[in-house]
Amino acid sequence: MKKLFTILFLAISVSSFAQTDEEQIKASINQVFDGMRKNDTTLIRQVLHPSCFLKSIGKNKNGEVKLQEDQIIDWLKSVGTKREGVILDERLLSYDIKIDAEMAMAWTPYELYVSDRFIHCGVDLFTLMKTDKGWKIVGIVDTRHKDNCKK
């Protein structure tokens, strides 16, 4: 009986320290933005799947809706370039996370600031995959606009 209580206690203790999938997904996403603020692309790369894509949906100058694809390597170079007094600060306002087995998506409204100056708002849509090394981001699609921001 004593062994049973010990095993039960250990199981409860271990499970209370384990992160849920949702917490792990949030941590992966937050690591991207921590890396942006620090210009640390190594930190960002740790949570990106090697085939990660980056796309934006928005309107061009003529008001036509367009899909723009950015090369992740170009984005990482830009983020990794330190500029005196410039801090890229994308602030997530909330998380709506859906999970199915090894796939997840996170809808995250955000506001982007550069050195405390508001630039735009929008939504980041993350697609993630659960691997043996944790949740990896396989794709990011965002919107960007200056109107209808909660700011």
- Contact of 54 with 140, CB cutoff 8 Å: yes
Average pLDDT, the chain: 90
**DSSP class of residue 7?**
H
DSSP code per residue over 64-113: -EEEEEE-HHHHHHHHHS--TT--EEEEE---EEEEETTEEEEEEEEEEE
Q: Where are the domains of the chain?
A: 19-143
Strand partners, 69: 55
Give the mean pLDDT of 13-29. Answer: 81
Give the mean pLDDT of 5-21. Answer: 58
- Contact of 150 with 93, CB cutoff 8 Å: yes
Q: Quote the pTM value.
A: 0.85
Multiple choice CATH, 19-143, 3.40.50.10540, 3.40.50.800, 3.30.70.20, 3.10.450.50:
3.10.450.50
pLDDT for 54-111, tens place per residue? Answer: 999 999 999 999 999 999 999 999 999 988 888 999 999 999 999 999 999 999 999 9
How confident is residue 8, by pLDDT bands cut at 50, 70 and 90? very low
User: What pLDDT, on a 0 to 100 scale, did the predictor assign at position 17?
Assistant: 56
